[in-house]
Amino acid sequence: MSKFTVALMVAALGATLAGCGSAMQQTANQQEELLMAAGFAKKPADTPEKMSRLRRVPLYEVAVRKKGDQPVYYYADPNVCRCIYLGNEINYQNYRRLLIERNMRTSPVAVTPADMEAEEEWGVLGSR
């Protein structure tokens, strides 16, 4: 392979990776906009220890853990905002409502397709 061909392949790979990065950033920005609108609190991972902890949880999806009897919902983003969003049940319900309003196809953790079908069926039955 000539040096020109290798250079061309490297440039193409770089452009592809840059495009993926910008698409990931746009998706993360949209997700984070919804989380903020739903009332989630943005906490920066501004130390090496916090970044290390941030990378050990599920990334780029809303997940839930129990703290005592209460659920704590979170969304971790170590690359775009270098932060974690934290919310309670009310914030999570607001987030789900915003997803439905914006007709997004993101399926939050802790909600199965059967749950969504039941909610849709209830909505239809409840409106009769």
With respect to residue 6, please indicate whether it lies within any of the assigned structural domains. Answer: no
* Per-residue pLDDT at 122: 46
With respect to residue 112, please indicate whether it lies within any of the assigned structural domains. Answer: yes
* Per-residue pLDDT at 102: 83
With respect to residue 102, please indicate whether it lies within any of the assigned structural domains. Answer: yes
CA dist 47 and 33 (Å) reads 24
Per residue in 39-54, is it b (16+ CB within 10 Å) or e — as a string?
Answer: ebeeeebeeeebeeeb
pTM equals: 0.61
With respect to residue 74, please indicate whether it lies within any of the assigned structural domains. Answer: yes
Q: What is the CA radius of gyration of the chain?
A: 19
- The answer to whether the CB of 59 falls within 8 A of the CB of 107 is no
CA distances from 39 to 62, 74, 97 (A): 14, 12, 12
* Domain interval for residue 91: 28-117
With respect to residue 5, please indicate whether it lies within any of the assigned structural domains. Answer: no
With respect to residue 111, please indicate whether it lies within any of the assigned structural domains. Answer: yes
With respect to residue 12, please indicate whether it lies within any of the assigned structural domains. Answer: no
Per-residue confidence in pLDDT tens, the chain, 128 aa: 555 454 444 444 444 444 445 655 666 688 899 999 999 999 999 999 999 998 999 999 999 999 899 999 999 999 989 999 999 999 999 999 998 888 755 555 554 555 445 445 444 433 33
Alpha helices in 47-108 (DSSP H): 48-54, 89-101
How many folded domains does the chain comprise?
Answer: 1
With respect to residue 36, please indicate whether it lies within any of the assigned structural domains. Answer: yes
* Per-residue pLDDT at 89: 96
